[in-house]
A and B are shown apart, each in its own frame.
Chain A
Amino acid sequence: MHSTKPNLRDLVIAASVLLLALFLLLFPLLSRGEGKTVVLTYGDKTETYLLSESRTLEITSNGIHLTVKIEGGEVWVEDADCPDLVCLHSGKISKSGDVILCVPAGLRIQVIGGDNDVDFVAG
C-alpha cells in the first residue's frame, strides 16, 4: 500500500512536522505580555509575590537550596546547588508566561500578568 521508494509526500510530511515543531517553539514567545506577579511552586507549596516588590527568597526543595531574587521588575535564580544549574543560567524573566524551572528541585518560577484570565496549569 505504501510505496517503498521515498517520494514527495514524505517530504511534505517531514516539512509539516518541521513547521509544527518550529511553531511550538515560537508560540510561547509570541504570547508574552507584561508580567505582574511571580508564582513559585515547589513540593506542595505555592508562593506568590509581586514583581514590583524587591526581595530575596531562600527556598529549599528536594534537599536543594536556591536563592531567588526579585528586583527591578525581574526575577531570577541567584544561587542554587542543584546538579545541572540550568535554572541559574536561565537568565532573568519578567514577561507573563515566562518560566524558570529547576527540575532536580521540583521548583517552578512563573511570571503571570495581573489581569490575565489564563491560568497556568497546576502540576
Chain B
Amino acid sequence: MSISWRDNRVRRLTLDAAALALAMGLSYLEFLLPIAAVVPLPGFRLGLANLVVMLAFYLLSPLDAAIVSALRILLSGLLFGSAVSLYFSALGGLCSYLVLLLLYCIRAKCSFVGVSILSASAHNAGQIIAAMTLYGALVARSYLPYLLLASIFYGGALGFLCNLLFARLSKMEEGRV
C-alpha cells in the first residue's frame, strides 16, 4: 500500500518535499479565492491542502503526513496569511489531523469521501474554536452549522478526488501508473 521509504532517505525527503510544495500550492489557491464573501469570518480557510495530507498519510506514512501538514500550515501562514489565519489554520489542521489518526486507528471502512468529510468538519470545528477565543463564543458558534453543511459538500468532493488519486498513485510503486 505505501511507497516504501525506509531504505531510502533521499527518496523520502524528496517525496515529503514534493507533497509540501503541492500542499502549499493548494494553500495559495485558497488565498486567491474570495471566500470572505461567503463566510465573513476573518481568517477562515478551506482545507484544500487536506487532499495532500490524506494522500501522504496512506501513501507515505502518518508521520510524513503530520510533518507535511505542520510545515504547510507554518510556511503558508507566514507567506500568504496573517497571524490570525495562521492561528485558525493551526487549530483547524490539528483537529483535522487528529481525526485522520482516529480513523486510521479504528480501521474505518469508509472510502476517502467519508474521511475527507470528517476531517473537513474537524478542520472547521477547529477554526470555530479559534474564532471563539478571539471573537466570542456566540458569534463564532452561529457559523458552525453552515460550515458543517459546507464541509459535507467540499469534503465529499475532495474525498472523491482523493479516491481516484489514491487508486492510481498506490500503483506507482509497482510501476503501473
Chain A residues near B108 (CB-CB < 8 A):
1-2, 9
Chain A count of residues within 8 A CB distance of the other chain: 29
Q: In the complex, are the beta carbons of A14 and B145 less than 8 A apart?
A: no
Q: Which residue of A lies closest to B103 (CB)?
A: A2
Which positions 109-139 of chain B face chain A at CB distance < 8 Å?
A: 109-115, 117-118, 121, 132, 135-139
Which positions 1-28 of chain A face chain B at CB distance < 8 Å?
A: 1-7, 9-10, 12-14, 17-18, 20-22, 24-25
Q: If A3-B109, A3-B110, A10-B110 touch, does A21 touch B149 (CB 8 Å cutoff)?
A: yes
Chain B CB within 8 A of A121 CB: yes
Chain A residues near B156 (CB-CB < 8 A):
10, 14
Contact of A2 among B110, B117, B139, B142 (CB under 8 A): B110
Q: Which residue of B lies closest to A122 (CB)?
A: B136
Q: In the complex, are the beta carbons of B104 and A1 less than 8 A apart?
A: yes
Contact of A120 among B58, B132, B138, B142 (CB under 8 A): B138
Chain B CB within 8 A of A69 CB: no
Q: In the complex, what distance in Å separates the CA atom of A7 from the CA atom of B163?
A: 11
Q: In the complex, are the beta carbons of A17 and B159 less than 8 A apart?
A: no
Chain A residues near B1 (CB-CB < 8 A):
1
Q: List 11 A-B contacts (CB under 8 A).
A: A1-B104, A2-B109, A9-B109, A13-B118, A14-B156, A17-B118, A17-B152, A18-B149, A121-B136, A121-B138, A123-B135
Hey, which bits of chain B sit against chain A, CB under 8 A?
1, 40, 58, 103-104, 107-115, 117-118, 121, 132, 135-139, 142, 144-146, 148-149, 151-152, 156, 159-160, 163-164, 166-167
